[in-house]
Amino acid sequence: MIGPRGREIARRGRDKAGAMRPFRFVLALAVALAAAAPATAALQRRALLGVAMAPDRQTGNGATVTGIVAGGTAEALGLRVGDLVVRAGQGAIARPADLVAYTATLHGGSPVVLTVRRGARQLVLRAPAVARPLESYAGAHVDYGAVEFGGGQLRDILVTPDGVAAPPIVYLIQGFACATMEIPLYHRLGEELVRRGIGFYRVEKPGMGDSAGGAPCATIDYATELDAFRTAYRHLITARGVDADRVFMLGHSLGGLEVPMLAAERPPRGAGAYGTVLRNWADYYRDLIQFQPYLFEGTDLAAQSARAEQMRELLRRFFFLRDDPAAIAAADPAYAAGLREFFGWDGGQLMFGRSFKFMQDLARQPVVAAWRDARTNVLALYGESDMVALFDTDHKLVADLANFLRPGTGRYVEIPRTGHGMDVIGNRQEVRARTRAEGNVPQGEFNPAVADALAAWIRDSMASPPVRERFPAPAAG
């Protein structure tokens, strides 16, 4: 999903790569530390860049290093916080995404050449790329595999706790960004689940992580992404031998729009979501423009409401008429500015690193109908300070809808002091004060209470079969 005040992607290995005032959207969990792998048949381990980045504060260009991850390629190169990366190999770096794209061509051992400005000096740094280490979990077995899809292969990972026969498995479906699933947030979630005797399954989006072949994530539409998750679900059941009756889907952020689609087709034991929406995506987008700057920074709500009203025609043309963004931009300079500010439009085909058609597809998804038809146990998790999902209303409705149609099958849980990244960041007032003071949305450590809520739901769901029939029958008309 999309979030606050510009593009903050992958901070400390999770979600920050840059910022743009006055309004910044966050693509939830779009990780600048991640890089897609090139098309190879063997699913070689990709390189770990290991750097958080932001555009240069003065020019808005290049990629300024804001953080270094120990043991990554950036550390091996000798990169330092404050370095401005201007070239990678033979290509110029105009923005952080260019450096991510360069790293996408690398495996462990590949030669890396970066040109950086460090103060008044220009340096050329060289080192072999460092491969990303394989995940490990105390008390669990980790199995790296592959799912055949779209003329290529998708990397999948199944983590199962030791000494637990036929454990329940959480199938996590990640958010909006074209980014790897192997990020610290999800690893911490997996650790907490394993401690509770629960397994953990993930699959990369097309072209991401170790995946190889097929269309890259940045070019695919929503139907293709959904089909990738559908194919992995089938693979989990057939090739990996996990019965659907012990699978619990969890959609994080945008993944919460995809989980009910899959659950309606082939019900798992449970379907859950954290930090999602039930509204049409165009309506959600308008609400982002109106409310999110106020929620995070205390920006004048009346002025931002007026700004959202001014964007109605842009939203109509983009989401409902499905006009090309170039045509919309050509019609009005204000629309061109709005596309860049609110949609992260690059002037071509991409919006926040994804095809603009993918973004348009989101407004056509029958999310409410999917939750209605997901005849299984339902969990709606909401962090008290999740200002990317904005408010708790949609989550409560997801649970209420399940309980209305299948009494006792819906559960809503609010996690105190927790943000969109499942991290402890304080209550809403504290988050606003810190954002204003620090200039960035605060980050925190993973909140184990999220795993507690998941585990309690899974335990209760495993104790009794889900209600598959719909009751009461929908009213006429």
Does pTM surpass 0.85? yes
pLDDT attached to residue 22: 34
**Cα 271 from Cα 376, distance rounded (Å):** 7
pLDDT attached to residue 426: 97
pLDDT attached to residue 105: 80
Contact criterion met (CB below 8 Å) for 85 and 65: yes
Query: Burial level of 5, CB count in 10 A (0-12/13-18/19+)?
Result: buried
Per residue of the chain (477 residues), give pLDDT as tens: 764 343 332 333 333 322 223 344 343 323 333 333 333 346 888 898 999 998 877 777 789 999 998 999 999 999 999 999 999 998 999 988 889 888 878 888 999 999 999 999 999 999 999 998 999 999 999 999 999 999 999 999 999 999 999 999 999 999 999 989 999 999 999 999 999 999 999 999 999 999 999 999 999 999 999 999 999 999 999 999 999 999 999 999 999 999 999 999 999 999 999 999 999 999 999 999 999 999 999 999 999 999 999 999 999 999 999 999 999 999 999 999 999 999 999 999 999 999 999 999 999 999 999 999 999 999 999 999 999 999 999 999 999 999 999 999 999 999 999 999 999 999 999 999 999 999 888 999 999 999 999 999 999 999 988 888 877 766 765
pLDDT attached to residue 476: 65
Please, what's the largest Cα pairwise distance for the chain? 73
Provide the residue count of the chain: 477
Do the strands 247-252 and 270-274 form a parallel or antiparallel pair, or are they unpaired? parallel
Contact criterion met (CB below 8 Å) for 96 and 61: no
54 closest CA partner among 3, 124, 6: 6
Do the strands 51-54 and 270-274 form a parallel or antiparallel pair, or are they unpaired? unpaired
pLDDT attached to residue 474: 67
pLDDT attached to residue 55: 85
**Cα 170 from Cα 193, distance rounded (Å):** 8
247 closest CA partner among 180, 198, 205, 203: 198
**Cα 27 from Cα 269, distance rounded (Å):** 29
pLDDT attached to residue 273: 98
248 closest CA partner among 231, 262, 238, 227: 262
